[in-house]
Amino acid sequence: SYVLTQPPSVSVAPGQTARITCGGDNIGSRSVHWYQLRPGQAPVLVVYDDADRPSGIPERFSGSNSGNTATLTISRVEAGDEADYYCQVWGTGSGHYVFGTGTKVTVL
């Protein structure tokens, strides 16, 4: 089955930029979605189709996807961005969605 690998953790100071990678075989040929999970809250879609933002998501959240790596970038990080982030793709051959391993973003 298709495997998506993310770094377990990323630490960033407020105001700096956090980059979260999602590695998968030729992931650049697939559409990647990103979700934010804060403890005790419903998950939130922050980027879809590689680089599009849903209504209400700040422009500080952006995405890119090429080759074997997709990246979620959070610019001007704020304390409220501290959360777990998951990438997701449709596993074409498997016929179901696959989530990445998840990355915990810590704001120092």
Partner 1 sequence: EVQLVQSGAEVKKPGESLKISCKVSGYSFTSYWIGWVRQVPGKGLEWMGIIYPGDSDTKYNPSFQGQVTFSADKSINTAYLQWSSLKASDTAIYYCARHKQVTEPIDYWGQGTLVTVSS
2 vs 60, which CB is nearer to partner 1?
2
Euclidean distance between CA atoms 21 and 108, whole angstroms: 19
Give, in order, the Cα–Cα distances in Å from 68 to each of 23, 25, 26, 48, 85.
Answer: 6, 5, 5, 17, 18
Binding flag, residue 80, partner 1 (CB under 8 A): no
Binding flag, residue 106, partner 1 (CB under 8 A): no
- Shortest spacing between CB 86 and partner 1, in angstroms: 5
- Shortest spacing between CB 12 and partner 1, in angstroms: 21
Binding flag, residue 86, partner 1 (CB under 8 A): yes
CA dihedral 9, 40, 73, 22 (to 10 degrees): 60
- Identify residues 9-38 at the interface with partner 1 (CB under 8 A): 33, 35, 37
Euclidean distance between CA atoms 106 and 82, whole angstroms: 5
Binding site for partner 1 (CB under 8 A): 33, 35, 37, 41-45, 48-49, 54, 86, 88, 90, 94-102
